[in-house]
């Protein structure tokens, strides 16, 4: 595995692969890699000849009171994991390589509507930071395919929209959420949880599956389901930011054209903000598959 921290040698190396007809898959990460990230890497490996992983804790997507400084940085362990997975190229730039003129005057990529609500309204500017850095990374790596986790379902939807709107010639592939045995979605931020909060954390996933099962059984009063779920989370010890039943394609309210429902939640346990989601196809043929293990 070759590690690059500067754009020019990375681009030269990737150019050689491209000229010899190799297809490049890209997995952008912020490091502190867990099984969920490694699932993305494995998917990338299945799809292309060359796998490029980036590790960059992007300051532009953190709010002023968020955990940028505390965000776990575990480069040596991450490198070992990527090496074992057969990754050929690691790109690990410093902040100055990505934002050579600082972040104040940086051009911003903004995806309206999709990026302005749910996590976008709780974390103002967050998705602008994500889409801006992902655009930069796409331009640097120029992958054929880029792989993202479905755990960050809103992020995945926003990246798909950005790529379509800006005619970026990149296929975006989503990978199913990786979970601990008790259902908790794997996340670098799970490491912040106290033992007591770790015990409570799987309630988030259980509340999502209960809601999905109620809808699958025909219960269609979504406002009631959402408020019941929020109450349930509060009783368990969470402070919910949102619990919303939406159209999985548009992330807007469910309507007659909805083919798939996404139930999305963000909730705090102490200072740790957890997000998760689950989906339910309204197409009877694929319902069984979704209920049997969808996300
Ligand atoms: O999902 C993440 O880890 C980050 O938001 C990403 C896509 C690497 C951009 O910094």
In CATH, what number is assigned to the domain containing residue 210?
A: 3.30.1300.10
Q: Catalytic pick from 37, 126, 197, 205?
A: 37
Cα 292 to averaged position of ligand 1 atoms, centre (Å) = 29
Given phi > 0 = left and psi -120 to 50 = alpha, else beta, which region is 275?
beta
- How many Å apart are CA 32 and CA 191, to the nearest integer? 10
Cα 255 to averaged position of ligand 1 atoms, centre (Å) = 30
Give the model confidence (pLDDT) of 133-183 as tens digits. 999 999 999 999 999 999 999 999 999 999 999 999 999 999 999 999 999
Give the model confidence (pLDDT) of 15-50 as tens digits. 999 999 999 999 999 999 999 999 999 999 999 999
pLDDT value of position 129: 98
Asked whether residue 258 is assigned to any structural domain, the reply reads yes
Q: Quick check: CB of 36 below 6 Å from ligand 1?
A: no
Residues in the chain: 295
Q: Tell me which of 130, 150, 175 is where a domain ends.
A: 175
| Helix residue ranges, H only, the chain | 7-19, 35-47, 75-84, 95-98, 119-122, 126-141, 153-165, 195-200, 203-216, 222-236, 284-293
Structure tokens at 145: 């395919």
Structure tokens at 41: 């890497």
| 37 flagged as catalytic | yes
CA-nearest residue for atom 6, ligand 1, is 29
Q: Does residue 161 contact residue 189 with C-beta atoms inside 8 Å? A: no
Q: Quick check: CB of 109 below 6 Å from ligand 1?
A: no
Q: Quick check: CB of 28 below 6 Å from ligand 1?
A: yes
- How many Å apart are CA 285 and CA 263, to the nearest integer? 20
Torsion of CA 280, 286, 287, 291, to 10 degrees: -80
Asked whether residue 9 is assigned to any structural domain, the reply reads yes
Report the SS3 class of residue 248.
coil
Give the model confidence (pLDDT) of 68-93 as tens digits. 999 999 999 999 999 999 999 999 99
Asked whether residue 180 is assigned to any structural domain, the reply reads no
Q: Quick check: CB of 226 below 6 Å from ligand 1?
A: no
Answer yes or no: is pLDDT of 273 > 50. yes
Number of H-type helices and E-type strands within the chain: 11, 9
Structure tokens at 252: 């807007």
Asked whether residue 222 is assigned to any structural domain, the reply reads yes
228 plus 83 within the same structural domain: no
- For 58, which DSSP code? -
Q: Quick check: CB of 134 below 6 Å from ligand 1?
A: yes
Structure tokens at 112: 């309206």
Q: Which residues pair with 275 in a beta bridge?
A: 266
pLDDT value of position 283: 80
Q: Which of 1, 175, 173 is nearest to 87 (CA)?
A: 1
CA-nearest residue for atom 5, ligand 1, is 130
40 plus 169 within the same structural domain: yes
- The CA distances from residue 43 to 72, 79, 100, 113, 172, in Å, are 24, 18, 32, 30, 12
Answer yes or no: is pLDDT of 295 > 70. no
Which residue matches tokens 């709107």? Answer: 165
Pocket test for ligand 1, best of 26, 27, 28, 125 (most atoms within 8 A of CB): 28
Number of separate domains in the chain = 2
225 plus 150 within the same structural domain: no
Cα 231 to averaged position of ligand 1 atoms, centre (Å) = 30
Domain containing residue 169: 2-175
41 plus 126 within the same structural domain: yes
Torsion of CA 90, 94, 96, 97, to 10 degrees: -10
Report the SS3 class of residue 236.
helix
Give the position, in ligand 1's atom list, of the atom nearest the Cα of 58: 10
CA-nearest residue for atom 2, ligand 1, is 29
Q: Quick check: CB of 135 below 6 Å from ligand 1?
A: no
In CATH, what number is assigned to the domain containing residue 152?
A: 3.40.50.620
- How many Å apart are CA 253 and CA 267, to the nearest integer? 20
pLDDT value of position 291: 47
* pTM above threshold 0.85: yes
């Amino acid at each position: 595995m070759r590690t690059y921290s500067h754009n020019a040698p990375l681009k030269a190396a990737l150019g050689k692969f491209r000229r010899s007809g190799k297809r490049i898959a890209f997995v952008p990460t912020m490091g502190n890699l867990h099984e969920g990230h490694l699932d993305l890497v494995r998917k990338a490996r299945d799809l292309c000849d060359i796998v490029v992983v980036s590790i960059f804790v992007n300051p532009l997507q953190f709010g002023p009171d968020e955990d940028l400084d505390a965000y776990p940085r575990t480069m040596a362990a991450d490198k070992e994991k990527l090496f074992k997975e057969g990754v050929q190229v690691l790109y690990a730039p410093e902040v100055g390589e990505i934002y050579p003129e600082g972040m104040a005057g940086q051009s911003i990529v903004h995806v309206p509507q999709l990026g302005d609500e749910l996590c976008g309204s709780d974390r103002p500017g967050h998705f602008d930071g994500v889409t801006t850095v992902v655009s930069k990374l796409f331009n640097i790596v120029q992958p054929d395919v880029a792989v993202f986790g479905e755990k960050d379902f809103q992020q995945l939807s926003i990246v798909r929209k950005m790529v379509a709107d800006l005619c970026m010639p990149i296929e975006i592939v989503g990978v199913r959420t990786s979970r601990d045995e008790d259902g908790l979605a794997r996340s670098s931020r799970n490491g912040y949880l106290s033992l007591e909060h770790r015990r409570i954390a799987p309630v988030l996933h259980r509340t999502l599956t209960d809601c999905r099962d109620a809808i699958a059984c025909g219960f269609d009063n979504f406002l009631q389901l959402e408020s019941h779920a929020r109450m349930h989370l509060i009783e368990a010890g969470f402070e919910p930011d949102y619990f919303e039943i939406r159209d999985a394609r548009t992330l807007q309210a469910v309507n007659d054209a909805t083919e798939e429902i996404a139930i999305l939640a963000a909730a705090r346990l102490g200072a740790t903000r957890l997000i998760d989601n689950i989906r339910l196809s309204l197409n009877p043929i694929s319902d069984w598959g979704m209920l049997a293990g969808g996300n």
